[in-house]
Amino acid sequence: MKLQEGPILYRASFLLPISSAPFEEGALLVDDGRILAVDCFDKLTVAHPGVTVVDFGDALLLPPMVNAHTHLELSSFDEWSATAGEPDSPHEFVDWILWLVRVRRSVSEEQFHDSLAKGLNTSLRTGTGAIGDILTTLSAAPAYRKSPLRGRIFAEVLGHDPAVAEKRLTAISDTLLNDSRSALDWGLSPHAPYTLSAAVLDQVFAFARGLSLQCTMHLAESTAETRFLHNGSGAIADKLYAYARWDPTANPPPGCSPVAALCRQGRLRRGDLVVHGVQVDAADIDLLKQSGCSVVLCPRSNATLNVGKAPVAAYLKAGVPLALGTDSLASSQSLSVWDELAFAYDWFAGAGKPCEWLAMATLGGAKALGMQDRMGKLEPGLEASFQVVTLPDMPCLNALEETLCASGQDVKVTHLYLAAENVMPGN
In the complex, the residues that contact Zn ion under the rule CB under 5 A are 327
Of 160 and 191, the one with the shorter C-beta distance to Zn ion is 191
What's the min distance (Å) between Cβ of 223 and Zn ion?
17
Which one, 95 or 379, has the nearer CB to Zn ion? 95
- State the minimum distance, in angstroms, from the CB of residue 218 to Zn ion: 5
CB of 6 to Zn ion, least distance (A): 44
For Zn ion, the closer CB: 278 or 382: 278
Nearer to Zn ion, 226 or 301 (CB): 301
Residue with smaller CB distance to Zn ion, 31 or 327? 327
Choose between 133 and 401: whose C-beta lies nearer to Zn ion: 133
| CA–CA gap between residue 107 and residue 84 (Å, rounded) | 9
Q: What interhelical angle do 198-210 and 162-177 show, nearest 10?
A: 20
Name residues whose C-beta falls within 8 Å of residue 373's C-beta, 6 or more positions apart in sequence. 382
Q: Is the dihedral of CA 327, 389, 129, 321 positive or negative?
A: negative
List Cβ neighbours of 353 (8 Å cut-off, separation of 6 or more).
none
**401 φ, ψ to 5°?**
-65, -40
DSSP 3-state of 185: strand
CA 357 – CA 184 distance, rounded (Å) = 25
CB of 305 to Zn ion, least distance (A): 10
Taking the complex as a whole, how short is the minimal distance between the CB of residue 277 and Zn ion, in angstroms?
12
- CA dist., res. 258 & res. 231, Å (int): 12
Cβ of residue 110: shortest distance to Zn ion, in angstroms? 23
Phi-psi region of 214 (alpha: psi -120 to 50; beta: other; left: phi over 0): beta
**Least spacing, CB of residue 69 vs Zn ion, in Å:** 6
Three-class DSSP category at 73: helix
Residue nearest to Zn ion (CB): 327
Q: Could you tell me if 307 and 286 are in contact, meaning their C-beta atoms sit under 8 angstroms apart?
A: no
Cβ(200)–Cβ(174) below 8 Å: no
Interatomic CA distance for residues 37 and 28, integer angstroms: 6
Q: Which is nearer to Zn ion, 34 or 118 (CB)?
A: 118
Say how many C-beta atoms besides its own lie within 10 A of residue 238's C-beta: 13
Return the number of the residue (225 or 327) whose C-beta is nearest Zn ion: 327
Give alpha helix (H) positions in 105-161.
109-125, 142-145
Q: What are the E-state strand segments in 158-253?
A: 185-190, 214-219
Strand ranges in 220-318 using DSSP code E only, listed in sequence order = 273-276, 294-297
Q: Which is nearer to Zn ion, 150 or 191 (CB)?
A: 191
**Whole-number minimum distance, CB 274 to Zn ion, in Å?**
12
CB of 291 to Zn ion, least distance (A): 20
Q: How far is the CB of 241 from Zn ion (least distance, A)?
A: 20
Question: What does DSSP say about strands 60-62 and 8-15: parallel, antiparallel, or unpaired?
Answer: parallel
Amino acid, res. 423: V
